[in-house]
Amino acid sequence: MKKKNQTNSGFTLAELLVVMASLGVLLGVAIPALTGYIKYSKTSEATSNLNLMFKGATAYYEQAAAGSQGIVSGTAGHCIVGTTSLLPSTPGLAKQQTNFLAVPEFKSLGFNISDPVYFGYRVLALGGTSACAQTASTALYTFVAMGDLDGDNVFSRFELAAGSDASNVMYHSVGVYVANEGE
């Protein structure tokens, strides 16, 4: 009886261990990078919503004060809303559903986000209270977004400053001030 030549095909234990070690190293690098990218992608919510707040504030500032029937009143316009508290008041890891329209200042700005948010938002107004007939060339607002994206009680802070120029037209700072972006 004749034996057939048998050839073993497959991988050796050493080869499998090398592949497993290589995968472990790749995952050890990729997973922290991925979590960082995910965290930073959440920060786009803040800059986008600060821009929405500015647009609403500009519309509110430029509009003539109108009565409930659409009749223009004697108020000169160039109005600002007052300072608000942070809403939601305790932003954290999970998104939170918030009714911004329940706050009169946000409602005046037309600022409402129907989706849940990672960040809390607030308006810091010059003088703290609502007022009309603002003069040209003044600082008017700082719009703020704060969030704790990694649950360590250290907050990311985004600020967009706004004012009026010599023609009493609203403008905002060139960029958004950011502190602790990935927190």
How confident is the model over 139-143, as a mean pLDDT? 94
Instruction: Give dist(CA 57, CA 51) in Å, integer.
Output: 10
Q: How far apart (Å, rounded) are the C-alpha atoms in residues 126 and 28?
A: 49
pLDDT tens figures, 63-114: 854 444 444 444 457 889 999 999 999 998 889 999 999 999 999 999 999 9
- Sequence ranges of the domains in the chain: 13-42, 44-179
pLDDT digits (tens, 9 = 90+) for 16-32: 999 999 999 888 888 88
Contact in structure between 148 and 183 (CB atoms under 8 Å): yes
In contact, 116 and 152? CB cutoff 8 Å: no
